[in-house]
Amino acid sequence: MSAAQASGSTPIRAIDVIRKKRDGGELTLAEIESLVNGYTRGEIPDYQVSAWLMATLLKGMTRAETAALTDTMLRSGEVLDFSDLAARKVDKHSTGGVGDKTSLVLAPLAAAGGLIVPMISGRGLGHTGGTLDKLEAIPGFKVGIPVAQFRKILETIGCCMIGQTAEIAPADRKLYALRDVTGTVESPFLICASIMSKKLAEGVDGLVLDVKTGSGAFMKHEEQAELLAELMVETGERMGKRVVALITDMDQPIGHKVGNALEVDEVLEILRGNGPSDLRQLCLELAAWMFQLGGVSDGLAEGRKIAAQLIDSGRGLEKFREMVELQGGDLSVIDHPAKLPRASGSQEILSPAKGYVAAIESETIGIAGVILGGGRERKEDSVDPSVGIVLYKKVGDAVGHGEPLATLYYNSESRAARARPLIEQSYRISEAPPASRRPLVLRVIQGSGGN
Amino acid sequence: MSAAQASGSTPIRAIDVIRKKRDGGELTLAEIESLVNGYTRGEIPDYQVSAWLMATLLKGMTRAETAALTDTMLRSGEVLDFSDLAARKVDKHSTGGVGDKTSLVLAPLAAAGGLIVPMISGRGLGHTGGTLDKLEAIPGFKVGIPVAQFRKILETIGCCMIGQTAEIAPADRKLYALRDVTGTVESPFLICASIMSKKLAEGVDGLVLDVKTGSGAFMKHEEQAELLAELMVETGERMGKRVVALITDMDQPIGHKVGNALEVDEVLEILRGNGPSDLRQLCLELAAWMFQLGGVSDGLAEGRKIAAQLIDSGRGLEKFREMVELQGGDLSVIDHPAKLPRASGSQEILSPAKGYVAAIESETIGIAGVILGGGRERKEDSVDPSVGIVLYKKVGDAVGHGEPLATLYYNSESRAARARPLIEQSYRISEAPPASRRPLVLRVIQGSGGN
C-alpha cells in the first residue's frame, strides 16, 4: 500500500500498471486503456511505457489481456466500415519474409474472384521487404491515398493497396516506434496486438494470416510462430472475425527474386501463369483460404482451382492492371517488365563446389538486399527500387563447381562489396542432397468458430 | 545479425545492450559503461534506459555486472579522498526503516571513538524516514554543505552529515529518478549499485550496512535482504573496502518515536543514556561494527563496551553538540528538547481490547507518518518536522482495554483523520502473548576479506 492509495484517490496510475505487469499480474481492460490511451494522448511519457513494454515482453500476457490491448489500439483511431459494400471483405497479412511478394498477387486475384480486399500494408522492416516499397517500384504508383479514394477504388475494382493512414490505430504507430528502439518488438503478444489492431481497423470480415517461420522469419522457431498464430486467430475471433493462420516455411527466400522491382517482375510472371513453383503454390494456397473465408468457394480444393483459373484466364493480371491504373502507376511496365527500374551493375556469384544446395540463410540474404539499398539501414534512408538479388539455385538443387548460384544487382560498388560476402556465406553446399524438406505450409490454425 | 552489424560498424548500441540483457546475457563492463555514461551525458534517452532497467530487474545481474555497474556509477562523478586524514574513515548505511534514527546517534558516537564519519545521507523515501529530514528538524541545521566545508568539519570534529552533492555519482541521481517512476526500484542489483556507488564515493575505508527486513522494510523477506547484503558486501570487497552487513529486524518501528523532531528527541534520549532498549541495542551493535572495521576495537564485545562508555560519559552527546554547532543548528534544543518543533494537535489511540500486542504493521505506521506530513506524498511536498507518532506499546507488551497504544501529533485535522485509522489498523492485539520474537540482529554477512 502506497501513501497515495491510502489517501483514497483512485485514478489508475501508470506506475501501478507497470508494477502489476512486472510482478506477473493480469491487467484489466481499464488498466490497459488507461496506459495506452494516456500514451497516445501524450499524457504518459515514453519511459514509463517502455518499462511496461519490457515487462510485458518478459512476463507475457493472457489471451484476455491480448484482446484488450488489441481492442484498445484498434479503437485509438478510425475503424473503416465497408459494410455497405455487398461483397465479403477479406484481407491477407504476412508476418514478413524474404522475397515474399504474395500480397501483390493476392489482392488482385481475390478481387478478381469477387472479394473486396482493402489492403493496408507496411514498409520494409529489418531484413524483410515491404509491400509498399515493392509497389512503389512501379513508376508513379501511389500508396498514400486518402480513405475516401480508397473506398472509391474498392467499390470500382474490389482491391486497393495503400499505406497506413494517420487515422488508423495511432496507438500502434506510436507504440511500434517505441518498441523498435527499446528491444520490445519480439513479444508475440505485442506483435499480435499490433497486427490485429491495424487489420481489424480495415473493416474486414475475414483475414488470412501467413505466419512465417524459419531462418528468414522473425519467428525462427515453429513454436513461436504457432503461439503468435494462435494469439491472432483467437483475438480475431473474440472480435467476431473469421480468421485463419497458415504457418509457412521461411527457411529460404520465396521465389527467385529479392528486391523491389525484381519482385514486381516475379509477381507479373506468376500472374501470367509462369514463375517459380513455390511462389505459385503459396499464392494458390493463400487465395484458396481467402475464398474459403469469403464464402466464394466450398472447400480448399475448389478455392485453389478458382485461383488457378483466375491466373490462367488472365483475369488476375487484368485486375492488377486496373489497380495500377487507378493508383497512378505506369501501365507500360505490366506488358514490358524491362521498363521497371534496373540497376546499373551486376555480379554473378558462383558455386565454390560441386554438390547440392543444403541451405540458404534467408535472413542474411535479406540483409544483403538491405545493404544493396533495397531496404533501409536507418529509418530516414530512401529505398533503391532497382537493386536486389536473383537466386538461381534453391534448397535441394544440384549445382556444378563454378556454376552461378545467384546474381547481385547494384548501383554502388561499395554496397556490392559489402553485400557479396553475405550472399556467398548464406549458401551452404553439401556433397549429398539434403534430407527431405518440410512442406511450404506447415500447419493451419483455425479458431473454434467453424470457419 | 542486423544490417548495421553486417556493415562492420562496431560502436556499442543501446538497443543491443537492452536486447542482450532482455535475453538473459551477461553484460560486459564496456557495455554497461556505454549505456550508463551515455545516459548520464544525455546521449541515450530515458525510454531506452527504462527498458534496460526493467530487463535488469526481471533478469538479474551477475556479481561481475553488479560490480561493473557500481564502479561505472561511482566514477560518473567526484570520488572524495580523505586519505590525508590519519584516522580510519568508516560510515554506516541503512536500507531504510520506520523510526530508524540510528545514523544521528552513530555519526557522533563513532567520531567520539576516534573514527572519521563522512556521512552522506538521503531524504525520506516512500514510507521510510530520511536522515536529512530528521536533521533539519533541528532549527538552522544545514545539510547542503560544500565539499570543502565538509572536509573542514571532518578534520575538526570527525563527523559531518550532509545531503548528496551534485558532484557525487550523478549517474545514480539520474538513474534513481528514472527507476522511481518506472517500477524498477526493487531490484537488489540496482539497489546495491545505487547505495554502494554513493557510499564508496565518500572515500571511506570501511562501511557497516544495516539491511532491514520485515513489514516496515523495503525487503519484506529475509532472503531478499540477505541477497542484497551479500551483493553489497561482495561489491564493496571487490573495490578493496572493508564491508559488513547486518540483517536486522524491521517488523516493528525502531524505538518509540516516528516523525522528524520526535526522532531527534529520541536520539537525544539515547545519547543521554536513556531511551528505548531496542534502539540503544541496535546503536551499540552498529557502533561496535564500525569500531571493528575501523580498527578501534578488537572484537565486538570490546566495541560494544566502548560505545556504551562513550554514551555514559556524555562524549557522544558532546560530539553531537559540536556537529550541530558547526552545521549551523540551534544548540538550545540539545539541552531543551521541548524547543524542537511541536505539533499543535494530538490524539490518543486506545487499545480496543485487553491482551498483548501481537504485531505492528510498520509500513502502515510509516505511511501514516507520511500522511501526517512527516514525509512526502509527492516529490515537491515540503516536510512538517513537528508531526508524528509516539508508540507506547511494542510487540509483546501487555495492554489493557482502553489503554493508550499510541499518540498521534498533527497540524491538520484532515490529515489526522486519514492517518488515524491506519495506526489503528496497524496494531494487532491478541489474547495470548506472541510466540518468541526474532532477535534484533538476524544475521551478519561478511566478505572473505577477513574483517
How deeply is A219 buried, as exposed, middle or buried, from its count of CB atoms within 10 A (0-12, 13-18, 19+)?
buried
Q: Which chain B residues have a beta carbon less than 8 Å from that of A127?
A: 3
| Residue partners of A229: CB distance under 8 A and separation at least 6 | A209, A211, A245, A247, A443, A445
Strand ranges for B239-375 from DSSP E: 242-249, 257-258, 345-350, 355-360
Secondary structure of chain A: what % helix, strand, coil (to 5)?
45, 15, 35
For the question of residue A198 being annotated catalytic, the response is yes
Contact A7 B377 (CB under 8 A): yes
Q: What is the rounded average pLDDT of the residues B137-164?
A: 96
- The pLDDT of residue A296: 96
Can you tell me the distance from the alpha carbon of B194 to that of B178, in angstroms, rounded to the nearest whole number? 12
Q: Kindly identify which residue of chain A lies nearest to residue B46, measuring between CA atoms.
A: A47
Query: Does A367 touch chain B if contact means CB atoms closer than 8 Å?
Result: yes
Contact B371 A6 (CB under 8 A): yes
| Residue partners of B390: CB distance under 8 A and separation at least 6 | B256, B257, B258, B262, B406, B407, B409
Q: What is the rounded average pLDDT of the residues B39-59?
A: 97
Can you tell me the distance from the alpha carbon of B235 to that of B67, in angstroms, rounded to the nearest whole number? 5
Would the pLDDT of B4 be above 60?
Answer: no
Distances in Å between the Cα of B315 and the Cα atoms of A428, B233, B241, B322 are: 82, 31, 28, 10
Can you tell me the distance from the alpha carbon of A127 to that of A369, in angstroms, rounded to the nearest whole number? 8
Do residues A33 and A72 lie in contact, with contact meaning Cβ atoms separated by under 8 Å? yes
Q: What is the rounded average pLDDT of the residues A203-211?
A: 96
One-letter amino acid for residue B261 of the chain: A
Q: What's phi and psi for B362, nearest 5 deg? A: -65, -35
Q: What is the rounded average pLDDT of the residues B115-127?
A: 88
Q: Which chain A residues have a beta carbon less than 8 Å from that of B126?
A: 2-3
- The SS3 of residue A406 is strand
Which H/E stretch holds residue B106? helix B102-112
Strand ranges for B250-377 from DSSP E: 257-258, 345-350, 355-360
Query: Does B54 touch chain A if contact means CB atoms closer than 8 Å?
Result: yes
Residues of B noted as catalytic: 93, 172, 179, 194, 198
pLDDT band at A6 (very low <50, low <70, confident <90, very high): very low
Which H/E stretch holds residue B264? helix B260-271
Greatest Cα pair distance in chain B: 79
Do residues A195 and A233 lie in contact, with contact meaning Cβ atoms separated by under 8 Å? no
Cell of B13: 548500441
The b-or-e profile of A291-319 (16+ CB within 10 A means b, else e) is bbbbebbeeeeebbebbbebbeeebbbbb
Would the pLDDT of A203 be above 60?
Answer: yes
Do residues B333 and B383 lie in contact, with contact meaning Cβ atoms separated by under 8 Å? no
Do residues B59 and B24 lie in contact, with contact meaning Cβ atoms separated by under 8 Å? yes
Query: Does B213 touch chain A if contact means CB atoms closer than 8 Å?
Result: no
Q: Find the CB nearest A182 among B1, B51, B126.
A: B51
Distances in Å between the Cα of A131 and the Cα atoms of A76, A106, A364 are: 24, 12, 20
Q: Find the CB nearest B3 among A18, A54, A371.
A: A371
Q: What is the CA radius of gyration of chain B?
A: 22
Q: Which chain A residues have a beta carbon less than 8 Å from that of B380?
A: none
Can you tell me the distance from the alpha carbon of A280 to that of B273, in angstroms, rounded to the nearest whole number? 92
Interface test with A, best of B182, B364, B380, B387 (most A CBs within 10 A): B182
Length of chain A: 451
How close B268 comes to chain A (CA, Å)? 29
For residues A323, A325, A326, A327, the Cα torsion angle rounded to the nearest 10 degrees is 80
Query: Does A417 touch chain B if contact means CB atoms closer than 8 Å?
Result: no
Distances in Å between the Cα of A263 and the Cα atoms of A129, A143, A341 are: 10, 17, 11
Which H/E stretch holds residue B160? strand B159-163
pLDDT band at B449 (very low <50, low <70, confident <90, very high): low
One-letter amino acid for residue B441 of the chain: V
Cell of B72: 561505472
For the question of residue A194 being annotated catalytic, the response is yes
Strand ranges for B147-200 from DSSP E: 159-163
How close A377 comes to chain B (CA, Å)? 6
Would the pLDDT of B1 be above 80?
Answer: no
| Residue partners of B449: CB distance under 8 A and separation at least 6 | B237, B242
Percentage of chain B surpassing pLDDT 90? 85
Do residues B327 and B145 lie in contact, with contact meaning Cβ atoms separated by under 8 Å? yes
pLDDT band at B39 (very low <50, low <70, confident <90, very high): very high
Q: Find the CB nearest B183 among A22, A181, A183.
A: A22
- The pLDDT of residue A10: 66
Q: Which residue has the cell 527467385?
A: A256
Q: Which chain B residues have a beta carbon less than 8 Å from that of A47?
A: 45-47, 49-50, 178, 181-182
Query: Does B53 touch chain A if contact means CB atoms closer than 8 Å?
Result: yes
- The pLDDT of residue A242: 95
| Model confidence pLDDT, tens digit, residues A140-197 | 999 999 999 999 999 999 999 999 888 899 999 999 889 989 999 889 999 999 999 9
Can you tell me the distance from the alpha carbon of A148 to that of A145, in angstroms, rounded to the nearest whole number? 8
Query: Does A46 touch chain B if contact means CB atoms closer than 8 Å?
Result: yes
Can you tell me the distance from the alpha carbon of B99 to that of B93, in angstroms, rounded to the nearest whole number? 15
| Model confidence pLDDT, tens digit, residues B69-82 | 999 999 999 999 99
Would the pLDDT of B44 be above 80?
Answer: yes
- The pLDDT of residue A27: 98
Would the pLDDT of A450 be above 70?
Answer: no
- The pLDDT of residue A4: 42
Q: Find the CB nearest B48 among A45, A59, A182.
A: A182
Do residues A50 and A178 lie in contact, with contact meaning Cβ atoms separated by under 8 Å? yes
How close B4 comes to chain A (CA, Å)? 7
Do residues A210 and A93 lie in contact, with contact meaning Cβ atoms separated by under 8 Å? yes
- Indicate the DSSP class of residue A381: P
- The pLDDT of residue B450: 44
Cα four-point dihedral sign A18, A22, A25, A29: positive
Would the pLDDT of A8 be above 50?
Answer: no
pTM: 0.85
Do residues A105 and A266 lie in contact, with contact meaning Cβ atoms separated by under 8 Å? no
Q: Which one, of B174, B116, B126, B153, lies nearest residue B371 by Cα?
A: B126
For the question of residue A313 being annotated catalytic, the response is no
Contact B371 A1 (CB under 8 A): no
Q: Provide the terminal-to-terminal Cα distance of chain A, rounded to the nearest Å.
A: 48
| Model confidence pLDDT, tens digit, residues B283-331 | 999 999 999 999 999 999 999 999 999 999 999 999 999 999 999 999 9
Query: Does B44 touch chain A if contact means CB atoms closer than 8 Å?
Result: no
Contact B2 A367 (CB under 8 A): yes
- Indicate the DSSP class of residue A115: -
Cell of A112: 478478381
Cell of B1: 545479425
Contact B6 A367 (CB under 8 A): yes
Residues of B (277-316) whose Cβ lies below 8 Å from A: none
Which H/E stretch holds residue B430? strand B427-430
